[in-house]
Structure 1
């Protein structure tokens, strides 16, 4: 049995002459709100640009969108937004969207935080974009919930919201009425998902055609994350440095233990104590980091990258890449080293008209 979309149900009811209020979306603006997140939310749920009529006939937008917050709120880019609906409008919204913001761990406007929490008790949908998840944490609606945020804020989020279950590298996460997206442009992924849930995948696909953006991306934030460079400390620093310099070689526990003049058992214990992970896990992660650097910066084939990083085979590289990055090495290279487009740009003639007229 085919389940009708919300759009189809609304059209049917309106055809019978029954008034139906449109879905109300409140987009919350706090001090330091990321302008990009705000724009994505308003563009996704607000009125469509005129070019949309070439794709789909839509007499009225399916949502009423209100940008809410305290008057004269500064954004992340320094300018101030003054034309805002009152904070009280948040309480009656069907969907509340909280864009990311600078210093999200800092205490936010209490009136706004209280207004964000109230719709949760009435079954409204709460949506955080990027660091907006911190605001949901302050509203105390994340206890026991699965949630994500920008990958680079994972440590701060765990400290600020210890009772939430962070899905660190997801593009977006849905847990009942709470939905959250990862960093920055993952907001578009979540908004397209919501449009598909509300009005059918075909509708979301048409909106994505206007945005020139895929309605769904594979993988997660892990393919965009970059390891923080933290200086090693502790007695194992010389060992860690040596391992980093010899990643391309076979590295067994017994060989490394012999080199450090420790028993394998002692090395295992010391490694876990000083790094927080096993030696094999540490080596695998460093090899993945070496591989992604080579995929971005070198012309080596995927097979040569696998051996240069110490995996020994393309299958081993692929397996570890899927675990740590969430995508394949080839897909990663296409995303972060688009050689075809670069080559095409280089081949554009400097004197186009002369070239077309035959001057070669």
Structure 2
């Protein structure tokens, strides 16, 4: 495991807990007190972490030579150039056949080491634009919790590191073992869905179509046809569709559907409306229409989304 300046402590802690010495409570599940791996935390001591304190007890970076698995936790400023010695060590480990595991923004380090070209990879959803710009030859799977691309494994935002570490344990030592570690962590061994359910929309593009976008937001609950919007924009339907794609990157219909989903998400989190009432308040003609678009954009259902971000009624009462 490599500790760099600004390393996310949570990523590092999850990896050390998953792969390192078993906690005493593990004996209640298995009579296997020894860790299944020999681990070493490497870096240039002392190294400041994302929380301000430093880590001094670190093995030298070249300790990873010959390692079977190299884990790179996320870090505070992943776009910052990393020490050439670290990048060279990671590249050499890849050449030697080591499995490379990036957690959260750790994928940027693998990218700087030059090992991601043509590889499927993920990182924190909020860093997708920066990652694509920095490593255009990598195949970013933006909303995945984690991605297994053979030699390269990567996870999304912070707590997705637990999902990936448990997955690796299952691959190495069987699902039963990974399940028992998940019981100690009190974390599911596998979560459905992906990062899309947590992603928040970025700022709306500002351009010549801004007045039209404002008007659309004000009329989302109404039936909106291309003909109607083109009349509001004072342009032909073909020109509207072309301008819309140029300015938003989406078709008019896709943009309207996404904005309705975003409104539905806010209502599911903050209001006491029923799911049916949310569907109509967000501009969907039916709950089935909302459910279909919701699954497309978030990977989950409206009801599951509400349970995730507000908890069930039983949990709130408890």
TM-score, length-scaled by structure 2: 0.98
Q: Could you tell me how far apart the structure 2 residues matched to 1:300 and 1:150 are?
A: 31
The residue that corresponds to 1:225 in the other structure is 199
Residue 137 in structure 1 maps to residue 115 in structure 2: no
Give unpaired runs (5+ residues) of structure 1. 1-26, 346-360
Please point out which of 240, 252, 255 is paired with 1:267. Answer: 240
Please point out which of 306, 315, 319 is paired with 2:292. Answer: 319
The residue that corresponds to 1:102 in the other structure is 76
Residue 254 in structure 1 maps to residue 222 in structure 2: no
Residue 151 in structure 1 maps to residue 108 in structure 2: no
Residue 300 in structure 1 maps to residue 256 in structure 2: no
The residue that corresponds to 1:12 in the other structure is none
The residue that corresponds to 1:115 in the other structure is 89
Question: Residue 342 of structure 1: CA displacement?
Answer: 5.6
SS for the counterpart of 1:273 is helix
What do the CA deviations read for 1:237-267 (whole angstroms, capped 9, x no partner)? Answer: 1110010011111100011112222211111
Give unpaired runs (5+ residues) of structure 2. none
Residue 236 in structure 1 maps to residue 209 in structure 2: yes
Question: Residue 277 of structure 1: CA displacement?
Answer: 1.4
Q: Could you tell me how far apart the structure 2 residues matched to 1:315 and 1:119 are?
A: 50
Q: Could you tell me how far apart the structure 2 residues matched to 1:285 and 1:333 are?
A: 18
What do the CA deviations read for 1:140-169 (whole angstroms, capped 9, x no partner)? Answer: 000000000000000100111111000000
SS for the counterpart of 2:241 is helix
Please point out which of 23, 30, 34 is paired with 1:60. Answer: 34
Q: Could you tell me how far apart the structure 2 residues matched to 1:115 and 1:205 are?
A: 33
Please point out which of 256, 268, 278 is paired with 1:283. Answer: 256
Question: Residue 308 of structure 1: CA displacement?
Answer: 1.0
Please point out which of 161, 179, 182 is paired with 2:153. Answer: 179
The residue that corresponds to 2:17 in the other structure is 43
Of the two, which has the highest radius of gyration? 1
The residue that corresponds to 2:301 in the other structure is 328
Question: Residue 343 of structure 1: CA displacement?
Answer: 3.3
TM-score, length-scaled by structure 1: 0.86
Question: Residue 204 of structure 1: CA displacement?
Answer: 0.5
Q: Could you tell me how far apart the structure 2 residues matched to 1:147 and 1:343 are?
A: 37
SS for the counterpart of 1:96 is strand
What do the CA deviations read for 1:23-61 (whole angstroms, capped 9, x no partner)? Answer: xxxx10000000000000000000111000001110421
Would the aligned equivalents of 1:30 and 1:109 in 2 still touch at CA under 8 Å? no
Question: Residue 313 of structure 1: CA displacement?
Answer: 1.1
SS for the counterpart of 1:66 is coil
What do the CA deviations read for 1:173-214 (whole angstroms, capped 9, x no partner)? Answer: 011110000010000000000000011111110000000110
Question: Residue 341 of structure 1: CA displacement?
Answer: 5.4
